[in-house]
Structure 1
Amino acid sequence: MITLLLVCIPLYLVSLFMNQASSRTVEKDISESTQSHLQFYVNSLEAEMNHLSKMKKDFLLDDDVQNLSTIAPAMNDYEIAKSILRVENRLTVLKESSVYVREAKIYIPLLNHTIYSSSYEAAMNEQEFRFISDHADKLPVFYFKPDDRLLMSQIYPDPLSEGRSPTFALEIDLSIGKIRDILSQISSDKGEVLLVSNDGEWSVYENPTDPAAKMVSSDLLRNKEIAASGERLVKIGNLPYFVFYQSSSVLNATIACYLPEQEIMGPLHTYRLWFWALSILSIFIILLSSYWTYSVIHRPLVQMVQAFRRVQKGDLAISIEHRWEDEFGYLYAQFNKMADRLSTLIQEVYEQKIRNQRAELKQLQAQINPHFLYNSFFILYRMARVQDHDNIARMTRHLSEYFQFVARSAADEVPLEREVSHARAYAEIQSFRFRTQLSIEFGELPESCRSVAVPRLILQPVLENAFQYGLEQREKDGLLRVAFREEGDGTVLTVEDNGEMLTEADLTGLQALLQPQTSDLETTGLLNVHRRLQMKFGDQGGLSLSRSELGGLRVDIHIPIARGEGHVSDFAGR
């Protein structure tokens, strides 16, 4: 290490000396070049402002402007129109005489209208008229804050007599965009340029979003006693900046170009040559030490990380080997034991989940509500008494379909179409019971998801919950709606009612019920359906509860669909 330092230090000292010498030369050249650009721009801008000042004063002696502003009531419409047209032409000449002019206009209080270079419009805003009247004889250029505009103006008479209002006011709206374009032309690739008034009233930045621009502008305003031109080193944040500036008495403003000191001092050719020589030497030394570090530490770590990633993806059959009996050898051996143990535990948990799922399904199938049976047979009895043979036939068909689906337990999964058909049969049976109390709207299942394999009994328990807790107490105008829609890579089954008994506390309790619970919690009804869907589809499947637009409970059953997978073609006993 000491030998390395003895070799590198002299080399760096030489490169430092050469870098400093080159820096002074580059700094001087850049300073002179930048000052020359700034002076040229200042002269050009002053010439433009002097030209505009001369043209605006010419309007003081313009016959048409004088006539319109003093004797317009004595003129006929034709004379007024001709005079306005000539004034518009002169304003157009003024506007087109300079790239910095965005618009020119004259407001004539006697006419209560404003003449533009290409139009004749309503009166000038009172605030704007008062503002330019107050500033016309004070500053060559001033800032009108409400509209964010730079203005030049001329009023007549100039100056105003005590208590007398202007007979007309000329306003020249300067284009901030054009000024900014000129600023961008004189800036270097690494620097930025700004123009700021000496009183701080207005400023134009080449890059308005650059936070350094405002800080440079503030520094120039704080140091008004500095020379009319020169350069300064200003620290902005943690970075030093070179600031080159030129002041203009005609504009009452200062133009400045600023750029980071590093951009001037950094790119030096001689320094680069020494830098590359030192870099090659450093790289050679680094490669030697890096190769040793890679062989002893990095490569074993990479191998272990890759093994962990494979485990993360579910590959628990992986085993990694190490040649030496060191710390990594111990870690590798423990990793292999961990992977074997994880594989065993996952298999045990998976088998337990399958057993639990089947047990819960059988439990749900066994939970045939005796009231449902009693009510169904009583309804059949009443229809038989009145010899309503058609409805008896319909109801017995739905009952047979219902009990055929519930009693058959050979398959854990069924096509979604079959599950929906069973739920529809249950809804039809209930419609006989609640014929005068409610109506049922049952949507059509999309063709694309009819063969998707789903756990048995996921829709009918949700309908049963709606009848029992949402609609049973309603005496009339009850509504149960079942809808289906495709959403992303899945299907959503929506069951909602207009029951009146659901409070916010009840809804919050039901939503909390679907959160992860302990394994010994009784799983019936909505929770049973939710857990079986999550065991089948993961976190993307399950139930979500909310308040329906109808007023009651809304249950959304989310069924993810892996395209091309998870379809069944038949159902046992169909």
Structure 2
Amino acid sequence: MLKYKIFQKLLTMLALLLIPATLLFAYANEASKEVVKHTLEESASKQLEFTMRQMEQSLRQLETQTLMLVNDSTIRAYASSSDFSEYLNHLFMRTTIEEKLTLQSQAEPLISELTVHWPSIGESITSQGTIPYNYGVLVNKPMNRWIVDKSEGLLSFRLLFSFPAIAPPDLSNTVSIVETTISSDYLRSVLAGLDVSGNGTSFFYFPGADIIRSNDVDMELAMNLIEKGEFDGAAIAHPKLSVMQADGEQYLIQSIFSPSLGGTLVSYIQLDEFLGPLQKVNWLVNGSLAFLAIAGIMISYLFYSHFRKPFGYLVRKLEALGSGDYASRATVKTNNEFDYLFERFNEMASRIQSLIENVYEEKVRTREAEYKHLQSQINPHFLYNCLFYIVSMANKSPAAVVSMAKNLSEFYRYITSKAGSNTTLEDEIRLIESYLEVQSLRNKRLAYEIDIPSAMLGLSVPTLLLQPIVENAIVHGIEQKRTAGKVHIGGIARGDQYLIHVDDDGNGLYGEQLQTLIDNVHGSSQTGDEMGCGLSNVHKRLTNRYGGHSGLTFSTNEWGGLRVTLHLQLTQKAGETDERLISG
């Protein structure tokens, strides 16, 4: 292969100038991006963790206050105060409890409602007044943990503590239950405080419930995160970090799990908004590098257009002429010294073409005529066998006749459409399978196996390459031996050489018989033997197509039958085929 050393040296010098500068800038740019991105991630992570820690502390305080209320002596005594004669004390105790609940809810802005239930007497008191006692609702609420409640379209969070602490499922023997309720407005205030920090937009996600968000949250992005399971298994103490691509934008997603409420606090940041200012610096440096690159390219182009291009054009024309394109001519005008070389090349190509046209094309026509003659010898051989089978089975098995006729029609449709042309080995194998199916109708003991590597199926081969060999294996091998019935077709790839083996377990050929077959197939003359004639035709087609290193070989296989091997040598030395055809 020709190497353009001068042009390569020029390009190498230019590359040594541009590539290090570009790589250095790219590294500095990526490093600055990583620093900014890391700083942003760390700041947002700390803010998210701080917010969650504050919220959890507030919830712990509410849990402590609720636990103190449920153990309050007044609340516990109220359940039995109505049993005594001093009923006024019962009313006074009720008023005291209402005042406690009111003061408690006003002192703690997180609380939207405080409720005390007494299952034993069927009463309930809230910080907002008396409500009816509802056993059916109360008995289904889990105790001693926060629960998410979505009733009447409003999302709230409730905590229930009972006295005694371990309450039976039916609330029997339960003295009192204190229920603390916080609304979703508290969580929205937490989100608002987090968003004010400027580290992104945040929302709360509760599995099976709703999303608590501010107006700035992109709901499409939030739902996309939920569908992808971004928060599955998010029960971790520290923020979880991930980067997501959506609508051509990159988002930094951070989430932290709330062990009290069972939800996830999510914050997302659009990275391009924070990394955008770095792009201005990138454009300035890129502009300088682009100017340097354009100057280098212009110098390279001048050298390319005045030397490399015409020289490469001449090399391609020489390669085309060497590969057999004798009509190749140099038609480009360069207005320099290359025009003289192009004229001399055209004169040489014209003389070569006139010589080839008188000999080579005539030889090609002769080969094509020989192919057609060989093809006409093969087709009737298969047709006569099939027609004889149809006649013999017409009264015995109409189904077999139908199958035979169908396969026969498919076979002739194939060879008429492929006549005089090449095909692929995969099509030939498909034809052989159809042929073997037809033969298995005649001979019930016939079994076959085809093992051709997939890499060989795309090989371009002449039509009806394998059918005569398989037919000979059945007619002259298997049908001549009562115990025979196996046909195996296998392929082997060895570099640029491909081997196809056709084995049968018939009578086989030994000694003088095998040598006679080899002489008939490889010799210049053909005998009247049907088997030798068919195999000789295939051998000639292989040698004509792939050269003298290709063709058929014969040997005895491990079954005692005959092995026919097709050798396909796909690559040849330059000019070997042309020289062979010209010399006849």
Normalising TM by the smaller chain, what interval? 0.3 to 0.5
TM-score (norm 2): 0.40
TM-score (norm 1): 0.41
